Amino acid sequence: MPLGERSGDKESRYCGVETEFNDDMPQLLSHSLSSAGFDFVVATLMDPAYRPSLMQKDSGGSGALPFAGSDLVLSPSQWSSHVVGKISSWIDLDSDDEIVRMDSETTLKQEIAWASHLSLQACLLPTPKGTSCANYARCVNQILQGLNNMQLWLRIPLLKTDDDSMDVDSNNLVDSWELWNSFRMLCEHHSQLSIALDVLSSLPSTNSLGRWFGESVRAAIINTDSFLTNARGYPCLSKRHQKLITGFFNHAIQIVISGKQVHSLPKGSTDLASNHNDSSSDGAQRHPLRPYLDYVGFLYQRMDPLPEQERFELGYRDFLQSPLQPLMDNLEAQTYETFEKDAVKYIQYQRAICKALQDRVPDEKASVITTVLMVVGAGRGPLVRASLQAAEETGRKLKVFAVEKNPNAVVTLHSLVKLEGWESIVTIVSCDMRHWDAPEKADILVSELLGSFGDNELSPECLDGAQRFLKDDGISIPSSYTSFIQPVTASKLYNDVKLHKDVVHFETAYVVKLHNVARLAPTQPVFTFTHPNQPTMKSNQRYKKLQFEIPSDTGSAMVHGFAGYFDATLYKDVHLGIEPLTATPNMFSWFAIFFPLRTPVFVCAGSSLEVHFWRCCGPTKVWYEWGVTSPCQSPIHNSNGRSYWVGL
């Protein structure tokens, strides 16, 4: 059974055990699953003594393969649900010995064919024997071309030598990420090639570890040697290991316990935090690795429950969505409803409007001066409501124009005004704000036209069009907004875009709830817009060159694209945004935006990444172009808005 349950979890977390070769698979499953409580076994499928060249000598090339029993020893559902195949660890496809190399290739293909026949969900590939893995990768890539839905997990040790001055043998691995990167590039970033990380007793730096959360890690194998012993004699992990395991849980990475029992529990003790039904009351019959499983279950259950916002966002994690086209398309009721549920956003708007009203009208004139406030892009009325609540809170008199181009939303607005008795205060205008002739000028202009990248839903163009009916000393809410980007490793997003097999999708910016990503450097500001845009109505075209420094202790990394965010000043010190360092807490109206790269860019440890971003404006559309110029040259993406644009 899964590792206990936590409030709000919609995904189970599993823990497996790596086993030695055993030709009695039913007994192996019974011992590991039924009596110990593990969810699956990582089991060698073929006798380790088997070598194709020896078989051919002994039987003239016609001998039957000594597989681990028949496929009939388990039901198809048992093979599929409870067994991860473990490819023979002796294979070495880059060996200088031709017989070893040929035996390895034959065995690899036979074992994966057998695992595929058994409908296993995954197979664990052994770690490449040296830093050169070209032939191994070639064979795996051949297999991947005809593979069913099975995943191949390449075993990679979680290793990085942080001290570059150490006397390291050139044959020894300094950064295992580079081995993984070499292998996956030779396999063309295939989506069915994943990672099983071998977690060792010592861990690299936090930045180095962070890279892996943007990669396709499916399992973390923890050897019993990595466990410490607590004061009561039970196995435990260091604080850094605990934090890493928690990170694995949060990213749906399965845990596998490996090795021999190295902890002798105190006499008469019971297992720590045991949460599995034990079929045997005799402690001596328990699986020797049961205490390690119990400790992993204990770590999982003591995690804080997912906050309500994250539970709501679970289904959106790493799901690519096309950004809204707010001018070309009319939003649907469901979209309005989702945004209207974001109470935090409207609380911030109400705070900003309160401050603007107080600055606009002194207390002594509050009863005689009526402030003209225009909500441009009123939707179904949440900003109208926030404005009237601000007027009530500050004791100011208000006259509101609610301007909305979507005729369907206008129907709802009329119903709202009538229901709330606002007829004498609120005038509904069914019109595009850029084409409306206002009967009078506004003191305050309020809008919620911001996109994930700030300006990507044409807030600058819309507010420039509405600016003509704002008084010269009028206030715009928001008053300014800035976009930000940062380079990210995002293997899943890259593979999802690659599935489309065209350039268009690599030149499209996506709205996405980023989860399985590694943020490689702090964000940097890109474009800033200020409203009102005076006095010269500056062009909304923009260009920015940015240089990101990858921290030296991160190690080398792969940049799959750029995550984009925004931060907006609504009025004075009232902010709203999703830039990670300044993000408004508990707000869910916006996810980040993702700008992919057609070809991922490899960056060395301690090196810099130079990227260029353009915001381009034409008569009928606005679009972004982007490209990398260092450490290598990428194409300019989305030239002339050929793949992705926002229609005016």
pLDDT of res. 150: 97
> Is 543 labeled as ligand-binding?
no
> Is 164 labeled as ligand-binding?
no
Does residue 311 have a pLDDT over 70? Answer: yes
Query: Tokens 């009351």 label which residue?
Result: 281
Residues 6+ apart with CB under 8 A from 168: 161, 174
> Is 345 labeled as ligand-binding?
yes
pLDDT of res. 581: 96
pLDDT of res. 641: 97
pLDDT of res. 283: 42
- Classify domain 15-163+170-306 at the CATH class level: alpha beta
94 or 162: which leads in pLDDT? 94
Q: Pick the catalytic residue from 105, 111, 178, 448.
A: 448
Does residue 67 have a pLDDT over 50? Answer: no
* pLDDT band of 275, cuts 50, 70, 90: very low
pLDDT of res. 379: 94
Q: In this predicted model, what pLDDT tens digit does every residue of 99-155 receive, in sequence order?
A: 999 999 999 999 999 999 999 999 999 999 988 899 999 999 999 999 999 999 999
455 or 11: which leads in pLDDT? 455
* pLDDT band of 284, cuts 50, 70, 90: very low
pLDDT of res. 170: 39
**364 is a catalytic site residue:** no
- Which sequence spans correspond to the domains of the chain? 15-163+170-306, 333-448, 480-647
253 or 325: which leads in pLDDT? 253
Residue 610 is which amino acid? E
Q: In this predicted model, what pLDDT tens digit does every residue of 460-519 receive, in sequence order?
A: 999 998 999 999 999 999 999 999 999 999 999 999 999 999 999 999 999 999 999 999
Does residue 168 have a pLDDT over 80? Answer: no
- Tell me if domain 15-163+170-306 and domain 333-448 are identical in fold: no
For the chain, how are helix, strand and coil distributed in percent, rounded to 5? 30, 25, 40
Average pLDDT over residues 311-335: 87
Q: In this predicted model, what pLDDT tens digit does every residue of 347-393 receive, in sequence order?
A: 999 999 999 999 999 999 999 999 999 999 999 999 999 999 999 99
Average pLDDT over residues 239-250: 96
Does residue 277 have a pLDDT over 50? Answer: no
> Is 433 labeled as ligand-binding?
yes
* pLDDT band of 329, cuts 50, 70, 90: confident
Average pLDDT over residues 248-272: 82
Q: What is the mean pLDDT of the chain?
A: 90
Q: Which CATH number fits domain 333-448: 3.30.70.20, 3.40.50.150, 3.65.10.10, 3.10.28.10?
A: 3.40.50.150
Q: In this predicted model, what pLDDT tens digit does every residue of 530-565 receive, in sequence order?
A: 999 876 567 899 999 999 999 999 999 999 999 999
Integer angstrom CA distances of residue 495 from 142, 500, 502, 619: 18, 9, 12, 34
> Is 328 labeled as ligand-binding?
no
Integer angstrom CA distances of residue 528 from 306, 453, 482, 484: 34, 11, 4, 9
Q: Which fold has domain 480-647?
A: Hnrnp arginine n-methyltransferase1 (2.70.160)
> Is 432 labeled as ligand-binding?
yes
* Number of Cβ within a 10 Å radius of residue 231: 6
C-alpha 224/C-alpha 200 separation (Å) is 10
**457 is a catalytic site residue:** yes
Q: Pick the catalytic residue from 18, 111, 178, 457.
A: 457
